[in-house]
A = this chain, B = another copy of it.
Amino acid sequence: MAETNNEEMVVTPWEVTGRVDYEKLVKDFGTQPLTGEILERIKRLTGELHPQLRRRIFFSHRDLDWILQRYEAGEKFVLYTGRGPSGPVHIGHLVPWMFTKYLQDKFGAKLYFQMTDDEKFLHRDNCTIGDVEKWTYENILDIIAVGFDPKKTRIIVDSKNISTLYKIAVRVAKHMTYSTIRATFGFQDSTNIGMIFFPALQAAPAFIESELVGHNVPCLIPAAIDQDPYWRVARDVAPKLGYYKPAQIHCRFVPGLGRAGKMSASIPETSIFTVDPPEKAAKKVMNAFTGGRATIEEQKRLGANPDICSVFSYDYFLFMDDPEIEDLRFKCLAGDIMCGDCKHVLADRVKTFLKEHQEKREKAKDRVQEFLFNPKDN
């Protein structure tokens, strides 16, 4: 049922609630909108614009124009993204990873993928080392299943690769004061000192390629915009250490199947996990929140609202091509299609998607070593 959601917007690395106003975020965070001009440039370079760009699922950036300019001049960049292994991966997580794979493929870019197991352990009271070890492994399977190139992908596990990271992180940390970190992340006196140090560790992979090859290499970070505070402080420090500032491209949050807010592993009934049995996932879709009216009669007369519909969101974020999604939008607004129909279509696609992903995920179990960062063979 359609309802507006007026809950206040909160966007931090640990919390995304309320209906997100992306224009306001661009303004608040001081990032740049992804303009048509930049998209044209990407299209020229890649031959093909990813739907997540066309649809502005990636909608904001910092220094992406600079990255493209360097690339045009023959200088390759590395990609860096990450995952906090605190629970199972849901298909919302896969959205930016799929886009990252597109960037890797089209730009021939090496990718550093950081598993922030330490941060997850430090942040959650009842999270044990055993928990994060388990989820690190499980989540890596999903990352590999997305199809990254093993020759060009290095998965960094903080606790395992701390030796490489710490060397960079101490140099970064020396330039990050408590007052900057408190103001940027909203830390309090009761925050533990591991969390306070962590922004230096999350900055480190942005500079790792430069350290390993011995000269500066541009770095582009595709990630949801809630991670921006980390890159903001990393960018401030970079020139002080002689590194390039890491560039970013920011995506929206994939909504959950509930009323509003991003898909979150902590609300399992509104999240489609990659390991959900397909039939179970289909049932979640059938219970999803939509933009429909109270009665079929009313919906036929007034049309429904795709803009607040979680089912439409999924089609938009993941499953439908441009003509199909435009057609659906039109039919929905016109009252020519009922929510039950849309749910069935989405449920089928989710089932197919999950079956395929789960097969790749199973195969990934034999390939973990290929992807893990090893400073020796880098």
Q: Are B193 and A200 in contact, with the CB atoms below 8 A? A: yes
In the complex, identify which listed stretch (A69-77, A80-88, A168-176, A281-289) lies at the interface while the others stay far away. Answer: A168-176
Say yes or no for A192: interface residue by CB 8 A criterion. Answer: yes
How far is B170's CA from A200's CA once the two chains are assembled, in angstroms? Answer: 14
A173-202 to B contact mask, C-beta < 8 Å, 1/0: 111111101100001111111101101100
Report B-chain residues with C-beta under 8 Å of the C-beta of A200: 193-194
- Is B194 a contact of A197 with CB atoms below 8 Å? yes
A118 interfacial by beta-carbon distance below 8 Å: yes
User: Which residues in B have their C-beta under 8 angstroms from that of A199?
Assistant: 193
Kindly specify which of A19-27, A159-167, A296-304, A312-320 makes contact with the partner chain.
A159-167
Alpha-carbon distance between A190 and B190 when the two chains are bound, in angstroms: 18
User: How many residues on the A side are at the interface (Cβ–Cβ under 8 A)?
Assistant: 33
Chain B proximity of A185: nearest CB distance (Å) = 11
Give a binary string over A137-177; 1 marks a CB under 8 Å from any B CB, 0 the rest. 00000000000000000000001001100110111011111
Inter-chain contact B193/A176, CB cutoff 8 Å: yes
A1 touches B (CB below 8 Å): no
CB-CB under 8 A from A162, the residues of chain B are 162-163, 166
Whole-angstrom distance between the alpha carbons of A190 and B182 in the complex? 11
Determine if A122 is an interface residue (Cβ-Cβ < 8 Å).
yes
Residues of B within 8 A of A118 (CB): 166, 170
A163 to B159 CA separation, bound complex (whole angstroms):
7
Question: Which residues of chain A in 38-60 are interfacial with respect to chain B, using CB atoms and an 8 Å cutoff?
Answer: none
Q: CB of A121 within 8 A of chain B? A: yes
CB–CB A121/B174 < 8 A: yes
Which of B121, B129, B159, B178 is close to A178, meaning CB atoms less than 8 Å apart?
A: B178
Q: Are B176 and A192 in contact (CB under 8 A)?
A: yes
A interface, CB within 8 angstroms of B: 118, 121-122, 129, 159, 162-163, 166-167, 169-171, 173-179, 181-182, 187-194, 196-197, 199-200
CB-defined A-B contacts under 8 Å, sample of 28? A118-B170, A121-B170, A122-B170, A122-B173, A159-B170, A162-B162, A162-B166, A163-B163, A170-B194, A173-B194, A173-B197, A174-B192, A176-B192, A176-B193, A176-B194, A177-B189, A177-B190, A178-B187, A178-B188, A178-B191, A178-B193, A178-B196, A181-B193, A193-B196, A193-B197, A193-B199, A193-B200, A196-B196
